[in-house]
Chains A and B, each alone.
Chain A
Amino acid sequence: MLTVEKLTKVFPGGIVALKDVSFAVSKGEFMAVIGLSGSGKSTLLRCVNRLITPTSGRIIWDDTDITKARGPELRRIRRRIGMIFQQFNLVKQSSVSTNVLSGRLGYVSPWSSLLGYFPSEDRVRARRALEQVGIPEKIHERADTLSGGQQQRVAIARALMQKPQLILADEPVASLDPVLAHAILQYLEQLNREQGITVLCSLHFLDLVHRYATQVVGLKAGELVFQGRPKELTRERFREVYGEEAEMATLGKPLD
């Protein structure tokens, strides 16, 4: 259970990215976060694993207050939360295996990891994770020699290495073509269904929301304007979230 209470983030310079956002996600949900560009989706996801420290409010995850965690405790929380990014965020100059293995950094002994040493069961697990996402043969390649879809799969493998109980996915498919988008989201769905991992995923395509999500929150200028089941997201509610410009777009088309 992840509970967000009155979460507010004000960036230096006075930009209010989140304003009093409160909602709850129960374990095993696939929650989509929607909203216009700049509405605060990334900020919200980054607050959950504290890449951004919120200005006020609380995030409680299984009785732990994430907003209060610091140092080693924070890192222990982070290692149970996998994150997937729009630009994949692989270290381009490192091999695929190193990128995948870096998902274990929160678990292994810090000092030996600095020398590039990982326990052999981690290496086995890395290979298995790559098999799971369908690209075991790329293990020794340099990360930037892979195509976009392959890179995103490496990123998922990296997240899998963390044995996450929660996955944050910030527009994971915005840089991919529609077929690949489905492939990636199907992985997430599979993880969500089979392993009961909670998924928090920001999306821009409404048909994807309907197809994969079990819960939806909508943000508008940092405020929560919608929470409910995907099928409750009617045209009217949808216009509330996306504003008047939404008239221009029809359901299932990209909205910005």
Chain B
Amino acid sequence: MNPRKQHLLIGLIALIIPGAGHLIQQNFQRGLAVLISIPLLIGLACWQETPLVFAGAATVWLWSAWDAWRASVGRPTKTTIVPFLAGTIAVYIVALAATDIQPARLISGFPSIRPILSALTSPDILAYPTQDKIGTAPILVPCVEPLPRPDVQGSRQTILLPSASCAAVDDTVRITGLGFFPNFEGEMWWRNPIGDLQRLTKDGRPQIFKTNEKGEFSATIKIPLAVPISALPVPGQTQTHQIEARQHKAYGQLQPTETLRLVVTKMGETLALAFLATVLAAIFAIPIGFLAARNLMGAGKITLAVYYAVRAVLNIIRSIETLIWAIIFGVWVGLGPFAGTLALLFHSVAALGKLYSEAVESVDPRPIEAVRATGANQLQVIVFGVIPQIVPTFLSFTLYRWDINVRMATVIGLVCDAGIGFLVIQWIRLGSYNAMATSIIAITLVIAVLDYVSSVLRRHILTGVNFGKVKTFRQYAFRIIGVFVFAGLFLWSWNVADIRIDYLVRDAGNGLRLARELLTPEILTRPTELRSISAEIRTPRQSCPADEVMKTDEGPGIRLSSTCSNVGEPLTISGEKLPPDTRVYIRWQFPDGGELRVKENCCDTDADGRVSLETRVHSLADSEKHDGRPTRISIQWPEAVGGFQLSEAIKKTLDLALITLLMALIATTLGSLIAIPVSFLAARNIVGTGPLGSVLYYAVRTVFNLWRSIEPMILALIFATWVGLGPFAGVLALTLNNIPNLGKLFSEAIEEIDMGQVEALTATGANRLQVIRFAVIPQLIPKFTAFILYQWDINIRMSTVIGFVGGGGIGHQWRVWVQLNQYAAAAVATWAIVAMVWIMDYVSSRMRSRLV
């Protein structure tokens, strides 16, 4: 074949099979890159239905054919900027679509965030004590026939009269109030049957009423949906709610508010949780740190195996965020401070274990050898040679962890009833924005202060600890006082954190089941069909034919203890020849067409396929008349039909995991783009030491430091209100969190620029721009890239939980699955999170170690 044809053939092959053109010519790097990126881009394009991405894929494809042809004629293209740009732009287009970025919503959603923002400027700290007048009136939702009349309540002074005693959701009711403070404003509240209070709103704002000079008012309220859909009464039944009109009249001196008191108490709880978890974690992590240290465990085969096992477990635990652990422990021992402490403890043990092991690995063997050479025994060698080396590092890592734990403890309440985060989430639900603002400000301040304290202490410990220095009496006294304070704090924290070790045992079954289910992710499922067997029962007893009263119904596999009975009487339903170890449901079909599905804990068949449930004869309402007509009782169970398929959980998880990755990508990109210019303003060597420069420098630094203290979870909560639930809120929260974090790192990198290189280039006669291009940028790029990769890694971790407060991504779905008890599905998501975090951690640290 002539060479010309051969070249064209190569181009043609590259056009048919992406990458093949390069592979034939043994250019494996380009070939594989093309081979992988084309299907990837096409896959992404189909996933988000973004036609533009096809154009990107086509560009890469055509370029690869052209490049293969060029290479075959001996003139390969030098730069790969075209396909690289096309691919990158395509990925970002997909990312923007997948994370649902809609800047317009920042504007359209602004009204709903305004009250929160304005509340942030007026936190609820001090207030005048108030005299309160509260009028309540019961109201039935919805109306039913016949109408039970709720009795009108109200204290003697204040009376609230609704125009109707019952109403449906979204109806309007007119209410009249008597006996309130005259000429004074008040608020309207709604209390649902289980006592949850919520504010009534009108046009999106809290509803206010104003009394006339006689202390009377009237207002129209709209009945809110005050219970979850699942808790709505069945048709034909109703629920009693309360309307409350409240007036608070101030008098006397300014005093700390109830809000402030609550915030302080809960902040105490938060700090206690963090303290306790850190101290306990340090204790547990010490032996683990030694087991995970390669220099100690690397010698023997068995110890090496232990080392690998410990490392793997630590890594898995670490890659699951504390908030996820909080929910898992909440399922085990019940939500509350104990679950929160366990979660903090668990994650901290893993994190500290890893850090400690690194400290042990970096122990210098030479001083140890020197101590041994003096004739010291093994214990003396450890005390004099090893401990002084590791204790400062251990302490410093522990302090660092304490800092992180305080941050975590402030937000752990967002998912379990512990610490100050719980107040935040409650107050945002109640619409008490001023109170919420108080707690958010408190969190931010506490974190900012602790961040500073812990970094100062850490610096002191690493350079200042001096083992064996002779102490003065005062130093001894301080030390003893310190020990007592520490012990006191520990006991107090133990108490506050509500440690109930017995719960771990009491609920061990719960925990084991959870562990088992989380370890068996639902990967393949078979579609199921509902099978059922049924029998009939008649009510009431006097309407049955005489001979049937005592007879038992022997259906195929189902047996009732009676076929004729009265509503409310005991009844045993038993089934046999059912599939073994299967969850079954009992379904009641009543004569008038109503039905009920009962899923009680008992309803698992045993190994022989038998099940038995002791219950009572059900009916839908006491008023229902069955007149001897049969109620059909069925045992139902799902039975797998057909072949195995990828489970729904896998599909959803893949989808959401990808979205989570892209959320992190967009947030990191946006954060970096904003942080880079700003960081120059916070670099001393750029802004100079003049008055303007100093002002700028300190202003930007202070803003960075305060801003960094706002937890991303809190930001997500706010953005979820602003732009609606979903990945966009999460991206905004992460971006905003990244700006100060990256900004700080960047500005430090800028300050470390080697001026020698700048001088050398200036000396060659280069102008300012040339100096920046050739002396400054080459120094900054590797560092900046390393920080960005590091931040992306952190962002992926955070975006796995940001969905808990409405930030989208995989976290939201995970929590939904846990709440629905679908642990096998949650397990899929959990392992996806582990894998994702693990891979990104690995990739990012590999790339970083190559950079610096």
Contact = CB atoms under 8 A, between A and B. Distances in A.
Interface residues of A, number: 42
B372 interface: yes
A158 B374 contact: yes
Nearest to A141: B466
Interface string B363-374: 010110111111
B777 to A, nearest CB: 37
Interface string A16-30: 000000000000000
Contacts of B465: 93, 142
A89 B375 contact: no
A75 to B, nearest CB: 4
Contacts of A95: 466-469
B123 interface: no
A106 B370 contact: no
Closest 4 CB pairs of A and B: A106-B375, A98-B468, A79-B375, A78-B375
B380 A110 contact: yes
Given A102-B384, A162-B375, A116 B369 contact: no
Contacts of A224: none
Given A72-B377, A162-B374, 8 more contacts: A51-B372, A75-B377, A85-B366, A91-B389, A94-B467, A104-B374, A110-B377, A140-B469
Interface string A75-106: 11111111101010111111101100111111
A35 B385 CA distance: 30
Contact of B371 (A82, A102, A168): A102
Interface string A102-114: 1111110010011
Contacts of B371: 91, 102, 105
B384 A105 contact: yes
Nearest to B393: A93
A173 interface: no
Nearest to B462: A93
Interface in A103-150: 103-107, 110, 113-114, 116, 140-142
A30 B470 CA distance: 37
A155 interface: yes
Chain A interface, DSSP helix/strand/loop, else mixed: mixed
Interface of B is mostly: helix
B609 interface: no
B475 to A, nearest CB: 12
A83 B367 CA distance: 11
Contact of A89 (B367, B380, B470): B367
Interface string A158-195: 10011000001000000000000000000000000000
Given A75-B376, A110-B377, A110-B379, A97 B370 contact: no
Nearest to B392: A93
Contacts of A114: 379-380, 383
A93 B364 CA distance: 11
Interface in B120-150: none
Contact of B388 (A75, A82, A91): A91
B466 A94 contact: yes
Nearest to B370: A89
Given A75-B375, A101-B468, A105-B376, A90 B370 contact: yes
Contacts of B364: 92
Nearest to A144: B463
Nearest to A90: B367
Interface of A: 49, 51, 72, 75-83, 85, 87, 89-95, 97-98, 101-107, 110, 113-114, 116, 140-142, 155, 158, 161-162, 168
21 contacts: A75-B375, A75-B376, A89-B369, A91-B384, A91-B385, A91-B389, A92-B364, A92-B367, A93-B389, A93-B466, A94-B466, A95-B469, A97-B468, A97-B469, A102-B380, A105-B371, A105-B376, A106-B375, A113-B380, A114-B383, A142-B466
Query: By CB atoms of chain B within 10 A, which of A49, A85, A105 has the most?
Result: A105
Nearest to A113: B380
Contacts of A142: 464-466, 469
B391 interface: yes
Contacts of B469: 95, 97-98, 140, 142
B375 to A, nearest CB: 3
Q: Please indicate which of the listed interface residues A49, A102, A158 has the most CB atoms of chain B within 10 Å of its own CB.
A: A102
B370 A98 contact: no
Interface in B339-390: 364, 366-367, 369-377, 379-380, 383-385, 388-389
B384 A94 contact: yes
Contacts of A113: 380, 383
A82 B392 CA distance: 28
A113 B385 CA distance: 13
A76 B375 contact: yes
Contacts of A104: 374
Contacts of A75: 375-377
A98 B375 contact: no
Contacts of A89: 366-367, 369-370
Contacts of B388: 91, 93-94, 98
Contacts of A51: 369, 372-373
A105 B369 contact: no
A105 B373 contact: no
Contacts of A80: 375
A141 B376 CA distance: 23
A134 B467 CA distance: 22
Contacts of B366: 85, 87, 89
B468 A94 contact: yes
Contacts of A94: 384, 388, 466-468
A72 B380 CA distance: 13
Given A89-B366, A91-B367, A97-B469, A106 B389 contact: no
Specify which of B374, B389, B469, B470 lies most central, judged by the most chain A CB atoms within 10 Å of its CB.
Answer: B374
Contacts of A98: 384, 388, 467-469
A66 to B, nearest CB: 13
A49 B370 CA distance: 11
A83 B375 CA distance: 11
B374 to A, nearest CB: 5
Interface in B580-596: none
B112 to A, nearest CB: 56
Nearest to A86: B366
Interface in B397-437: none
Given A89-B366, A114-B383, A79 B374 contact: yes
Contacts of A162: 374-375
B386 to A, nearest CB: 9
Nearest to A84: B370
Contact of B373 (A72, A81, A90): A81
A162 B374 CA distance: 7
Contacts of B376: 75, 102, 105-106
A105 to B, nearest CB: 4
A168 B377 CA distance: 20
The listed residue with most B CB atoms (<10 A of its CB), out of A87, A98, A107, is: A98
